[in-house]
Each structure stands twice: as C-alpha cells, then as structure tokens.
Structure 1
Amino acid sequence: MHIPIPKSSGLEDKLLWKHSTSGEYRVNKAYSLIQQDGLSAMGHHRDLPHWVWKLLWKIDLPYKILSFICKILHRTLPMFEILNKRGVRNTNLCTLCNEEEESIDHLFLHSPFARAVWHGSNLEVRTSELVHSSVDYWLSASIMHNINRGQDRMFFLQSLCTILWMIWNHRHKVLHQGKLPNPMEVILTAQSLVCRYQEAFQNKQSQHPRPNHSPRMFISPGWQVIIKGAAWRNRKTKRSGWAYEVKATDGSVLLKAGESNGRKSAYQSTQEALIEAICKTKELGFSKMLILCNSKMLTQVCSKRRRPAWHEQTFISDLDQLNLQGVSVSFLFVPKEIIADVLYMAHITTVFPVHFCRFGLT
C-alpha cells in the first residue's frame, strides 16, 4: 500500500485501517468484509456483475419489493429446500402445487402455478424457454437488458418484480391461511399495484423536479493562473504517472511538467500532481490559482462538500499550509475533454520512465 507523504510538517504519523474512509477500525465494516469473503467462498452470485445491484435500485418500486428482489438474487429466501438444509424440518413439497420439492426456481419459474401466472400476464414470458435457467440469472439478465430503455422497459421491470412479490405473498396466504391457489388473483393484484406505483412515482417526480444542470458562466475573482492537472494509470505496464500545465489568464503557457509515479493509484497521483503544480507556481510568484480537474471526488473534498478520507488528509494538510502562506486556490470539476492534452502527457509518463521534466513551452 502506498502511503502519501505530506510536503509540510503539519500532519503527524498514525496507524490507519485502509478499509474505512476515516482510517479507523470499524467492527461493522470488518463484519461486512468477513461476510463477503464467506459468500465468495460459497460461490453465491459469483457470476453476476457487481453493477447489477446498482441497477436494481433504479427501478421505480417500493424498497420492500426491491429488498425482496435482492433476496432472490442472493438466493436467501426461506424456501422449504433451504430450511431443511438448515435443520428446520418441513415438508419438501411445494405449497402451491403439492407435486415437486419447493425450491426458489420451482416456485417462481417452473411450477404449474408460476407458469399459469406468467402465461396470463401481459409480459409475454415463455417459461418453456427457461426450463434450464435459474430465477436469479434470468432476473439479473432482465434488469441489465431493460433498465435504461425508456418507460416501456421500466414498466416491464416493475411488472416483473411485482409479480414475483405477489407470488411470494400468495404462497404465504396458502401456507398460513389455508387459501386455495389462484393464479388470476396474483395477476390482477400485481397489475393494480403496478398502476398505483407508477402514479405514485410520477407524482413524486412532479413534486421534486430535477435541478437544471445547464452550463454556468464563471467570472474570475482575480485568478492569476489556471492549472490543469491529471493522472493516468497504464493497465499494461501497471504504472501511473501525472502531468500538469500552468497557463496565465491570457492563455500563454508558463509551465508544463510530468513524472512517473510507480504503482500508485491514479487518484493519489492526481493529488501529487496538483500539490507539485501549486508549489511550482508559487515559486514563480503567483498566489491566486484556479485548478481544473476531472476528479469529482477531489473537487468535492477541496470545496468542503465532503469530509476527507484518510488517504486525502495529506493533500488537505498541504493545502492548508499553502493557504497559511498566502496561496489562494479554487477547484473546478471539468470533463476529461477539457484537459485531454494533460492526460496525454500523463499517459506518456506511464510508457517511458520520467523522473521530472519540463516540456516545451509555447
């Protein structure tokens, strides 16, 4: 692990735990890491992309239904098959058909009750094509293929998840209340709920409209120079490097520099590039600087919209010391196209080892 070293003496050495943003040991975080290791060893959802879980929460449904869908993807619902493996003795037969062993795939996809529900729904789901599929992989594939394809696709996902939810609720009513299985009741109730959920989320969006992200004009409050800084990590060489460019407000280039940075992360290299650029610019006699950076996290920390994590405290400490010396720095997040030339210079430093070099000035 590469630990950032401050250029000033205002930060004391201390022990840090890399798994938390504050650097302090957290019992709940350690327990979460142990659980993740255990699930990986058991092979649960090992083939599901990690971003499926992020896409799931974009579906316009109540959290109780989305949490239920998470349990399906994790295969952790208390089915008879799972309960028997855990030592809780129950009948193995499916509650809704009394023909085969109840499993998560059988209940939601392969049972006669589930096939009747999907056939009667307006989703055109053909369970005959899913004989060899598991419900978690089928569900994750549906989320990946439909999440960002308009309102029709959102309606499909809402209906799909709500029908799964209603099958589970109907199973409980049959098991605990002695109700007779009725696929049509599940279909009609799910359709009614989807209409209510759509209306509720549309009203919520109308009451809380999204802010307008139109471009804003920034008026310079006396900036003397503009600094563009960036870092690059080369996947082939597994090395990182940084570069920066200092321009006067009239557009003339004052300084260009870059350096290879070993195997450090691109985020840490960006911090080193900006501190080095600020120090060199200060030596040229400038004290008011505007930093253009494509790192949103770093911009948030420097603008005090977020508390710095332990690996950012060295950078903040150096900035505080420079501020005490009369240096005023403002940060602005920009897309990578704005600093493309600096990114290219940083890329060069990852291909050829460069200690420190000033590139040709125009």
Structure 2
Amino acid sequence: MSCILCNNTNETQDHLFLHCDLARAVWFGADIFIRNLTKAEITVDNWIKDLLQHHNESSNNTSQLQLILTLMWCIWFHRNQIMFEGKQPNPMEIILTAKSLLNRFLQAPSNNAGNTKMGSNTAQATSWQPDNNWQVLITTEGGAAKNGKWQGMAYVGKNKDGQVIFSWMQNHNSIGF
C-alpha cells in the first residue's frame, strides 16, 4: 500500500515513522535531537533499541524519550485519521497533540509523588511495576471513519526480543451492516 501521508513510496513502519516527509517534519518541528534519523538503512526497531540504550545509560533524558514515543503514537493516530476520516496531513497538529497528551499525562495525580488531597480524603499515589515473567506483548489499534462506512483493526504480538510472532489486520466497508 502506498504511504497515505506522502504518496511517495510504499508504507512500511520504517518509512512511516522515520523517512516519510511528514514524519521528518514532525521530528524537525518537535525540536528534539534524533540520532541517526537521516540514515536510510536505519529501522524503527533499531532506532527504538538505540533510544532505550541511551536512556538506560543516562537517566536524565526521560522526558525526551517520553516525547519521542508519544510523537510516534501521534503519527500513527494521525495516519489513521487521514485514512479513515479523510483528514489532511498536518505535522504541527501531530506535535501539538503529542505535547498536550504528554503534559496531561505528567500532570495526572498518579504521576505525582506523594499524597494527593481530594477534599477531605487523601489518595495515595500508586505506581505500576511490570511483571518480568511476560511472554508476549500485544499491541492493538482500531478505528472507524466518522461516516461509519469504514472500520479497521489490527494487533501485533512480539516476544521479549522484539520479534513479531503474530499479527493480524482487517479493514472493511461497513455499508449495509
């Protein structure tokens, strides 16, 4: 399938997140340092592994990693809005949406250390710890056109090494259902 964001080449995850003109505009406009992004042979998988490795080596770049991952999700979400809702590509909208989502996440009570007062009650902030015994990470996505004519969904299962072990995608025209 041709990239619906730029119509220049086939859509792959590497093209969509790294090499597409719209994605490049997002990375440039977000004003964050992205290593090796201009290399044609870099893959999304290797790029994320590199980001995580550098994050583990220096714990002071958490906010940059959060922004990058949020931007990636927003690029995917915007792509689906273009495909299913007929929206026009807009890199600035992607950047502003990502920054808004990230700010709301960071300001949420569960992300603040200590106690949070709610009227006369006191709520203890909780933190989630992942289970290290997991076998498969499953990510899902779904969407529908505003007019209700097109619907789609997908999922991908990856093992601890990041290898895709199963995936599925379906879209259909729901006229007459």
TM range (shorter): 0.5 to 0.7
Structure 2: segments with no counterpart, 5+ residues: 116-123, 127-177
Assess, with a 3 A threshold, how the Cα gap between structure 1 residues 209 and 99 changes in structure 2: closer, same or farther. Answer: closer
Report the identity percentage. 39
Which residue in 1 is equivalent to 2:149? Answer: none
State which of 96, 102, 105 in structure 1 corresponds to 2:14: 105
Deviation at 1:198, TM superposition (A): 1.5
Which position in structure 2 is the counterpart of 1:182?
90
Cα distance, 1:161 vs structure 2: 0.5
Cα distance in 2, alignment partners of residues 96 and 198 from structure 1: 30
The CA deviation at 1:148 is: 5.8
Q: Distance in 2 between matches of 1:106 and 1:156?
A: 22
User: Post-superposition shift, 1:130?
Assistant: 2.9
User: Once the two structures are superposed, what CA deviation does each residue of 1:326-359 show, in whole Å capped at 9, x if it has no partner?
Assistant: xxxxxxxxxxxxxxxxxxxxxxxxxxxxxxxxxx
Match of 1:157 among 55, 65, 73: 65
TM-score (norm 1): 0.31
TM-score (ref. length: structure 2): 0.60
In the alignment, the residues of structure 1 paired with residue 94 and residue 6 of structure 2 have an alpha-carbon distance, to the nearest angstrom, of: 15
- Aligned residues of 1:117 and 1:183 also touching (Cα < 8 A): yes
Q: CA deviation at 1:124?
A: 2.3
Which string of whole-angstrom CA distances, capped at 9 and with x for unpartnered residues, describes residues 33-90 of structure 1?
xxxxxxxxxxxxxxxxxxxxxxxxxxxxxxxxxxxxxxxxxxxxxxxxxxxxxxxxxx
Corresponding residue number in structure 2 for 1:146 = 55
Aligned length: 117
Q: Is the 8 A contact 2:26 2:95 kept in 1?
A: yes
Q: Does 1:167 align with 2:75?
A: yes
Q: Distance in 1 between matches of 2:7 and 2:97?
A: 24
1:198 aligns with 2:106: yes
Cα RMSD of the aligned pairs, angstroms, is 2.0
Q: Does the 8 A contact of 2:6 with 2:22 survive in 1?
A: yes
> Which residue type is aligned with residue 169 of structure 1?
F
Unaligned runs of at least 5 residues, structure 1: 1-91, 211-362
Change over 3 Å in CA distance of 1:120–1:158 after alignment to 2:
same
Map 1:56-71 → 2, pairs under 5 A: none
Shift, 1:185, TM fit: 0.1
List 4+ stretches of structure 1 deviating above 6 A.
none
Greater per-residue helix proportion: 1
Structure with the larger RCO, 1 or 2 (CA within 8 Å, 6+ apart): 1
Aligned partners of 2:125 and 2:82: how far apart in 1?
43
Change (3 A) 1:190 1:209: closer
Contact 2:18 2:37 in 1 (8 A): no
Equivalent residue runs for 1:117-132 within 5 Å: 117-125=26-34, 129-132=38-41
Structure-2 separation of matches of 1:108 and 1:137: 12
Choose 1 or 2 for highest CA Rg.
1
